[in-house]
Amino acid sequence: MTRTVRIGLTGPIGCGKSTVAGWLAARGAVTIDADAEARAVTAPGLPAHAAILARFGDAVRGPDGSLDRAELARLVFADPAALRDLEAIVHPAVRPRILAAVEAADAAGTPAVVIEAIKLVEGGLAALCDEVWLVACAPEEQRARLTGRGVTADDAVRRIAAQGEVVSRLAPAVTRIIETGGDLAAAERRTAAAYAAVLAAAADPGGLGSTPGRAERSPG
């Protein structure tokens, strides 16, 4: 029996990481959304929630006591130091949840587990993965997708700029690039082909699953 393959999905904001994760889930992979996990650990009453309020103040507290995520995003995407402070609070709280989800997928014999995280490499999660997929598209398409979600044009520019040269920074860790621009049906076919290739390699005695890779190293 082949072991569970671990695929990391990363890339700039608005390039379609969640879309690609959905395509993989439809093909039997278990998906872990780091952003959803971050929302869970920053709920009211939890330590990360209190730490964020202590750092950023009541400006990021919503009327119901939860975080005003739009205001928090506005602050951190305009201030690299503030973004680093937020990540220093959130990442250590999220990591154990992701590790537990990966272990559960392994125990269940799932063919693949996908970790979707914009800071996959910077947060140390890429070291858990057999493959790191960079999800990318043209900048104009990236901006259009963000504004289509209700982000203002100026905010979209700030968010994209805050990530700087993310593609070039990630390049050394990337196994495959999944282009999502243009025709989505074609992008889905490219994703399906890449996924099939990874599973085939894992099943091959001389392929991905034959020797311990980065995914098999101790996360601690």
The pLDDT of 84-111, averaged and rounded, is 95
How high is the mean pLDDT of the chain?
86
Lowest mean pLDDT among 14-18, 117-121, 144-148: 144-148
**In the predicted model, is pLDDT for residue 1 greater than 70?**
no
Is pLDDT above 70 for 162?
no
Full set of structural domains in the chain with CATH: 5-203 (3.40.50.300)
- Buried-exposed string 62-93: b where 16+ CB fall within 10 A, e elsewhere: eeeeebbeeebbbbbbeeeeebebbbebbbeb
Q: 203 pLDDT exceeds 70?
A: yes
Please compute the mean of the pLDDT values over residues 17-25 and round it to a whole number. 96
CB distance 158 to 82 below 8 Å:
no
pLDDT digits over 27-56, tens only?
999 999 999 999 999 999 999 999 999 999
Alpha-carbon span 21 to 186, nearest angstrom: 15
Map residue 66 onto helix, strand or coil. coil
At residue 77, the pLDDT reads 84
Q: Tell me the average pLDDT across 183-188.
A: 92
- Supply the pLDDT for residue 217: 26
Predicted structure pTM score:
0.83
Under the banding of pLDDT at 50, 70 and 90, the label for residue 87 is very high
Backbone dihedral angles phi then psi of residue 210, each to the nearest 5 degrees: -80, -30
The band of 218, judged by pLDDT with boundaries at 50, 70 and 90, is: very low
